[in-house]
Structures are given as C-alpha cells and as structure tokens.
Amino acid sequence: MDAREITGAPSGANAAPSTPVCDAALFRAFALLGKRWSGVILGTLAHGPAGYADLARAVDGICDSVLAERLGELARAGLVVRTVAPGPPVAVTYQLSDAGAALVPVLHGLGAWATEHLVANELA
Amino acid sequence: MDAREITGAPSGANAAPSTPVCDAALFRAFALLGKRWSGVILGTLAHGPAGYADLARAVDGICDSVLAERLGELARAGLVVRTVAPGPPVAVTYQLSDAGAALVPVLHGLGAWATEHLVANELA
DNA sequence: TGATGTCGCTCTGTTTTACCTAGTCTTTGC
DNA sequence: GCAAAGACTAGGTAAAACAGAGCGACATCA
C-alpha cells in the first residue's frame, strides 16, 4: 500500500457506526503488516535480537531479497533497530525497537487466536 | 503463502529460545492476514454486517476483483459468513463468523498500537 | 419505453510485488 | 588455496494486486 492509499484511509464513513480512529489506525497497521512476511519477521524478533542469516533460517520460506527489503522497511518504520558491530567480521543485528516491542502482546494475541481458530483446513 | 509454506512453518528452531506454538500459529495467522486487504476487510466487518458494495466503498483503495477474492478466501477460512437474501433484488451480506469475531479484540489492540506507535513518517 | 443506476461479482490485460538465484566482498577455518 | 558463513545486491521470472469494462437482475426516473 503506497502513500496514496495511506492518505486515503477510511474515515469511518462505512456501512455501520464505527470508531474512525480504530479503522484508520488499522489501515495504517496493515499497510505494514499486510505486506508478506513483515508480521512473521516481527514475531521472530520478539524472541530476541537476530542477524540476517538467523532470520533467513528462522523465517521458513522467505527469500533473501524480500527479507532484506522487509528489514529495511521495518527499520525505516521504526519498528526494528539495525545495529552494526564493526567486526571483523562485520555483524549486523536486528532487534525490536520500543515500538516494535509494544506490538508483541498483539502478536501473541494473534498467535493465540490462530491456535484457537485457524485449523489446517483454512487452506482454500 | 501457499500450502508448501504452511507446511514448512517455523518449528521454533530459530536464533533464540521461543514458544514454538506461538510462532507456528503466527505464521498461520499471517498466511491470511499478510495478504493485502484481508485485515482491513475484517476490521471493517467488525462494525457489523455489510454488502459487497458497502465494503468496496468502506475499504478505500481496494479493487473489485481483490475484494471478491479476499471475501471468498475469508469465507472459506471460516472467518466470514456470506449470506444470500434471495430478493428480489438479490442481496449478499458478509459478516464475521464466531472465529472472525474472536479476532476483533486483537484487531482493536493492533489499531491501538498503530495509533500509539505508527506515525505518518512510517512511509519509507 | 428507454435511460440510468445499483448490486455482486467475473474477466482480461497491465502493473506491482514477491520470488529465485547467482553474485560480491570480507572474514574464518581447514 | 578452498569452502563456508555473513549481509546483502542485482536481474530476470512468477505470482499477486490492480484497473476497468462487462454481465444479468432489479429498481428508479423522465
């Protein structure tokens, strides 16, 4: 979702009474989390700091270029902090920022919900 | 994320100690919610039942074919119930199922988090 | 009656995003 | 020297998302 879509976030004028703040905020949240792999990466980092290769191994199925792209986006969004240890060998570590860490309880809630309500037959 | 990726969900063997269930579940959750628009559609339906056109208007920026596709997926996943009133004129209504409704508190948490932590400059 | 609009999609071509994979440079270990 | 690891990058391909016209059924209006 690009800037145009963010700007055009729903303002609550939908079919039923709503809490406009919640919807606009949800729109913004999914601008990030609705991109493939971002939520899973954040969930993985919830367990602690990790390097690029750690993440590549942990997030099964993600390709290199998308992992690099997502980490960059999450860092720019302020959810992830990228720390470079000069080395040698140079080592880059990613960890959740305060904003990222604040999302963890929500991610846990999401995991609990999935455990309870999503079964193998949610595959269409 | 297709069946191969679901099957290959992380099993907790990542960089730091983890709660494997949470991660696998999170993976499954984002198999659905990591697709563009699904979370926002669910958030919109949290306000109450809506027709296709209602949703198309409410979810600013979504195109017709993706809305139809997403509603189908969410219905097949059991999060949304599609009800046909025979008419005339025929009318189709979508509403959250019990499983979908159970996600609403999480979505609210997500909205609250975004309100608190996501600002306009999260745009890369 | 004909024109226009709404609904709930479907269809097709186009654009964007995600993927695949080889590659680079630096460092380490055998 | 060679292989492996880390942290990506780059270019081509596949898949997802998008744009917009269209359909049948129905309702409304001049």
The structure tokens listed for A124 are 């269409």
Scored b (16 or more CB within 10 A) or e, B87-103 reads eeeeeebbebbebbeeb
Percent pLDDT > 70 in chain A is 78
Closest chain B residue to A58 measured between Cα atoms?
B14
B32 shares contact with chain A (CB less than 8 Å) = yes
The structure tokens listed for A122 are 């949610």
- Whose C1' is closest to the CA of B38: which nucleotide? D17
Is the pLDDT score of B7 beyond 90?
no
**Is A28 within 8 Å of B122 (Cβ atoms)?**
yes
> Which residues of chain A does CATH 1.10.10.10 include?
37-122
**Is A111 within 8 Å of B9 (Cβ atoms)?**
no
Q: What is the mean pLDDT of residues B3-24?
A: 43
> CB within 8 A of A115, min separation 6: which ones?
B21, B22, B25
Q: What is the mean pLDDT of residues B10-36?
A: 67
Q: What is the mean pLDDT of residues B15-28?
A: 60
* Minimum mean pLDDT range among B9-13, B54-58, B93-97: B9-13
The larger pLDDT score, comparing residue B5 to residue B32, is at: B32
Scored b (16 or more CB within 10 A) or e, B39-76 reads bbbbbbbbbeebebebbebbbbbbeeebbebbbebbbe
CATH architecture of B37-122: Orthogonal Bundle (1.10)
pLDDT band at B104 (very low <50, low <70, confident <90, very high): very high
Nucleotides of D under 7 A from a protein CB: 5-12, 16-22, 25-27
> What is the side-by-side strand order in the sheet with A91-96?
A50-51, A91-96, A80-85
Is the pLDDT score of B2 beyond 90?
no
Is the pLDDT score of B13 beyond 90?
no
For residue A40, give the nearest of B26, B40, B108 by CB distance.
Answer: B26
A 77-106: CB under 8 A from B: 77-79, 99, 102-103, 105-106
**pLDDT value of position A1:** 53
pLDDT, one tens digit per residue, over A41-88 is 999 999 999 999 999 999 999 999 999 999 999 999 999 999 999 888
pLDDT, one tens digit per residue, over A88-105 is 889 999 999 999 999 999
* B44 closest CA partner among B33, B59, B34: B59
Nucleotides of C under 7 A from a protein CB: 6-13, 17-23, 26-28
The larger pLDDT score, comparing residue A113 to residue B19, is at: A113
Is the pLDDT score of A109 beyond 70?
yes
**Is A35 within 8 Å of B90 (Cβ atoms)?**
no
pLDDT, one tens digit per residue, over A36-50 is 999 999 999 999 999
